[in-house]
Amino acid sequence: MKIVSQIKEPINREMDLFETKFRESMTSKVALLNRITYYIVNRKGKQMRPMFVFLTAKLLNNGEVNERTYRGASVIELIHTATLVHDDVVDESDKRRGFFSINALWKNKIAVLVGDYLLSKGLLLSIDHGDFDLLRIISVAVREMSEGELLQIEKARRLDITEDIYYDIIRQKTATLIAACCSLGACSVKPR
């Protein structure tokens, strides 16, 4: 059994329901947007971020999750997907996970707007349900990730990166998001 399947085993039921809720969280009245989000959802990755949300929530809540946990998982995946779409534009990448990127198929302008749309859907999912604590966790993570990306660009231009700065970049761009997933899972099941 692959390691991801082993990690996912205790949350298979939650991940299956998450798929449905995540698809619903992306819907729009704009046909082009629905076509693009359908393309995105059908080329998804391992979905480690929602897995961390569910695993943490179940660990801290006697094996149970709730609607806030599903919202937290959806929000983090919406935000993460938005950053991937934007990253492909910034990096001028034509491929994502072996498939054409959004910007390769629909050009940069549409890709940036789709990324913005996904970001706004994530934010509104939290706001519409009064999940301001979850929104704060996500917002801090997005700020950190953006700073890490900009620091990397700055250091790549100057060619003056040190080992400490390299680890700061990794922390900001990757570890921050994983930590946010675990925080979302924990926060989603704590009494309000």
* 147-169: pLDDT as tens digits: 998 999 898 888 888 999 999 99
Nearest 5°: CA angle at 77, between 172 and 55? 85
Structure tokens at 102: 């959004």
Report how far residue 76's alpha carbon sits from residue 41's, in angstroms, rounded to the nearest whole number: 14
Instruction: Say if CB 87 and CB 57 are below 8 A apart.
Output: no
Instruction: Say if CB 70 and CB 129 are below 8 A apart.
Output: no
Instruction: Say if CB 135 and CB 123 are below 8 A apart.
Output: yes
What lies within 8 Å, CB to CB, of 69 at 6+ separation is 14, 53, 54, 57, 185, 188, 189
Query: In this model, does residue 1 exceed pLDDT 70?
Result: no
pTM over 0.75: yes
48: nearest Cα among 91, 18, 90, 93? 18
Q: Which amino acid is at 174?
A: T
Alpha carbon separation from 64 to 168, 188, 189 (Å, rounded): 35, 11, 8
The DSSP letter of residue 96 is: E
Report how far residue 119's alpha carbon sits from residue 31's, in angstroms, rounded to the nearest whole number: 18
Q: What is the CATH number of domain 9-189?
A: 1.10.600.10
Q: How confident is the model at residue 123 (pLDDT cuts 50, 70, 90)?
A: very high
Q: pLDDT, tens digit, for every residue of 57-78?
A: 999 999 999 999 999 999 999 9
97: left (phi over 0), alpha (psi -120 to 50) or beta: left
Query: In this model, does residue 44 exceed pLDDT 90?
Result: no
